[in-house]
Structure 1
Amino acid sequence: MSILIENPEQTEQLALVIGEVAQPGDNLVLTGDLGAGKTTLTKGIARGLGIDQMVKSPTYTIIREYQQGRIPLYHMDVYRVEFGASELGLDDYFEGDGLSVIEWGNTLKEALPQDYLELIINKDESDVEKRTIDFQTFGPQATAFKERILLKLACCQ
């Protein structure tokens, strides 16, 4: 399943919806080239969760926690994690009481959670604002998460 994002406003709308429908224990993997919009999407997700704190990329800290929303947001950037991902204690977040958003999560391989929704963000070479976002589900909770997102998007357009 793919959706076309034509401008930053649609990216913001998608992100808000994800935050609004996220439930404790949901895991979201964001995959895409540098500059595809993974951190921008996460900032909008935070707003959808009711988090008004500034969200920054956790590139060097690996994990940033935001507790003041409807549910906690665990924002991870595992781009620089080459070895020892299983020793970071990520399972505590994946199985926790919040939403885990994992940038570059596809690099974790066997350390990924068992159940997650992956959004693959593809930039349009001819238009810098356009993106195609592919949804891939891995597990029943991820499937339900995707369905909540698509249902809310459909009713809000």
Structure 2
Amino acid sequence: MIALGGDIAEAFRSKMTITLRGDLGAGKTTLSRGLLQNLGHQGAVKSPTYTLVEPYDLDVGTVYHFDLYRVIDPEELDYIGFADYLSQGSLCLIEWPERGNGYLSAADVSVDIEHHRIGREVTVMALTDIGTDFLSRLAKITGCDLSHS
């Protein structure tokens, strides 16, 4: 997941939102760690489960890493100014986006991670034109055919 995070960082070019779905332990935060480190973050990358959001000021701009696992009512997102974060950040990573149903604007890219006994299956889907451009760059970097994702 660290390597995929690095590939995603390499493909990143412009402001976008990426949602990360998967069960507990699937690798969402590990993928985020690889992405943030490859964008130049030097310190630790922890899951923002209790803080809901961790900002990272990097050369590419501010990256906001959200973990909505503890959100019970999506209206809670109003209290932390969720919409403001989405409009300000250069990159927003959102773990457990389903917990924010009705409050999330459309993501550009969705990453779904399924943990299996002998590995993981990752599905990356473009949801906007920005996402399609990103997915094209990611396919070239990884050497994978992502045209049907």
Superposition TM-score, scaled by structure 1 size: 0.81
The residue number in structure 2 matching 1:18 is 8
Aligned residues: 142
Per-residue CA shift, 1:114-147, capped at 9, x if unaligned? 232111000113x2xx110011222211222222
The residue number in structure 1 matching 2:83 is 91
Query: Is 1:149 the equivalent of 2:141?
Result: no
**What amino acid is aligned across from residue 139 of structure 1 in structure 2?**
T
Per-residue CA shift, 1:86-116, capped at 9, x if unaligned? 5132222223242111010122122122232
Q: Which runs of 5+ in 1 are unaligned?
A: 1-10
Query: Is the Cα–Cα contact under 8 Å of residues 18 and 109 in structure 2 kept in the other structure?
Result: yes
The residue number in structure 1 matching 2:40 is 50
CA distance in 2: counterparts of 1:149 and 1:71, whole angstroms: 20
2:26 to 36, 52, 59: 36
Per-residue CA shift, 1:55-109, capped at 9, x if unaligned? 1110010000010343322110001112214513222222324211101012212
- Distance of aligned partners of 1:132 and 1:41 in 2 relative to their CA distance in 1, 3 Å threshold: same
Identity %: 32
Query: Is the Cα–Cα contact under 8 Å of residues 59 and 78 in structure 1 kept in the other structure?
Result: yes
Query: Is the Cα–Cα contact under 8 Å of residues 19 and 107 in structure 2 kept in the other structure?
Result: no
- Distance of aligned partners of 1:113 and 1:122 in 2 relative to their CA distance in 1, 3 Å threshold: same
Query: Is 1:135 the equivalent of 2:127?
Result: no
Query: Is the Cα–Cα contact under 8 Å of residues 78 and 107 in structure 1 kept in the other structure?
Result: yes
**What amino acid is aligned across from residue 102 of structure 1 in structure 2?**
I
- Cα RMSD, aligned residues only: 1.8
Query: Is the Cα–Cα contact under 8 Å of residues 47 and 67 in structure 2 kept in the other structure?
Result: yes
Regions of 4+ moved over 3 Å: none
Query: Relative to structure 2, which stretch is displaced further, 48-57 or 110-119?
Result: 110-119
CA distance in 1: counterparts of 2:92 and 2:129, whole angstroms: 16
CA distance in 1: counterparts of 2:51 and 2:77, whole angstroms: 16
